[in-house]
Homo-oligomer: A and B are copies of this chain.
Amino acid sequence: MPRKITIHQIAKEVGLNASTVSLALRGDPKVREKTRDRILEAAKRMNYEPNNLARSLSNGRTRIIGVMLSDMSRFYEESLEAVFTLGEAAGFTISVRFCSWDQAREKAGLHSFVSNRIDGIIWGPTDYNTAEIAEMDALLHKFEVPTVMYGLPDDTQSLHCYQIGLDMQKSIQVGLAHLKSYGHTDIALLAATEVQGMFGRMYRRRMAMFRDAFIAEGLHLDDRRIFEVGDDNCGGLDLALKLSQMERSQWPTAIFAADDLLARELVKSFKTLGVRVPEEISVIGYDVFPWAMGGQLCSVNLNTKEIGEKAIQMLLKCINSEHPQQFDQRVEVLPQIRLGTTCGRPRSR
């Protein structure tokens, strides 16, 4: 038996024409059931595997959706799962590229998507380098590859692609506003700075966003209220210890932890040290780990699952439609407070 089976060989085997085989393999009702069974049997017996290159070249679509991500952060996990589930249900294969926060690699990956005539792209762009994004956007548009970008700030109206808006700074403000609603004004920031990884840039950007968010909410973020810990430390424990050696009157009344794991550790450490949360100090987390502390943690929920769902739904609509223009070009996903037990009114002084 030759190495790679084609429909012609199957056709010869069963004494029919290749085009009939082609129809049968795709379950076209034009082929009589009996003939189809014969064909399918032969195909299986001969270990036939369709050649998507030929198929796609011929009919003009690949039934593949490409997803471009920067890294394997858990931030993407939930949304990617949604993309898989809904995408596969609609008959698409999901192909992922990672760029490791490298713009050259990102560009190459997107090019590979269009070269391989992917049917649509979901893109969580690396960085808000407007010019670069605009350039790729123009290219993708020129090739008429439906594209959904997500995690975009709101100054991107000029882009052609569809967008899932997620305003990170506003999401931080949501957390701050929540604290303010309890009466907190002296809020500290606990942030991890992963030095070793490739996320340095992201962390720096996030830090800048925190500063801006404080300002936007009319809050003062004193440098001495910023606790930066390396990712190889136990930031929560360190901070709890540090505070326990300070006069309580010197404490902030609330702590905004830059991620849920830090927040979790902080709360647990406070408990260990006999500090009551939220009676003596409030803690709010951020992003990524909805399951941290079994729902006890008060935290800003970025709704990543919803992001994934909206992205794939938008894309599928777009791919299946003749007139994609009729859809909203941008959908906002709103962060919300995930209520827990770790925030309360500030202690009276």
Whether A49 touches B143, Cβ cut-off 8 Å, given contacts A54-B57, A95-B95, A237-B269, is yes
State how many residues of chain A have any CB contact under 8 Å with chain B: 62
Q: Tell me, in angstroms, the Cα distance from A108 to B91 when the chains sit together.
A: 11
Whether A81 touches B100, Cβ cut-off 8 Å, given contacts A93-B112, A232-B292, A294-B230, is yes
Residues of B within 8 A of A72 (CB): 72-74, 76-77, 80
Cβ-defined contact, B49 with A114, below 8 A = yes
Choose from B49, B115, B231 the contact partner of A115 (Cβ within 8 Å): B49
Residues of B within 8 A of A77 (CB): 71-72
Cβ-defined contact, A293 with B111, below 8 A = no
Q: Nearest Cβ distance between residue A95 and chain B, in whole angstroms?
A: 5
Interface check A265, CB cutoff 8 A: yes
Choose from B96, B142, B264 the contact partner of A98 (Cβ within 8 Å): B96
Residues of B within 8 A of A291 (CB): 196-197, 231-232
Q: Nearest Cβ distance between residue A240 and chain B, in whole angstroms?
A: 8
Q: Tell me, in angstroms, the Cα distance from A74 to B231 when the chains sit together.
A: 14
Q: Tell me, in angstroms, the Cα distance from A89 to B274 when the chains sit together.
A: 55
Interface check A222, CB cutoff 8 A: no
Taking A4-B143, A93-B97, A232-B264 as known contacts, 17 extra A-B pairs with beta carbons closer than 8 A to each other, sorted by chain A number, are A47-B139, A47-B143, A49-B114, A50-B115, A51-B117, A53-B56, A64-B116, A71-B77, A72-B76, A72-B80, A93-B109, A197-B291, A232-B291, A232-B294, A233-B268, A234-B264, A269-B272
Interchain residue pairs with CB less than 8 A apart (6): A57-B57, A84-B100, A93-B108, A94-B97, A233-B293, A234-B265
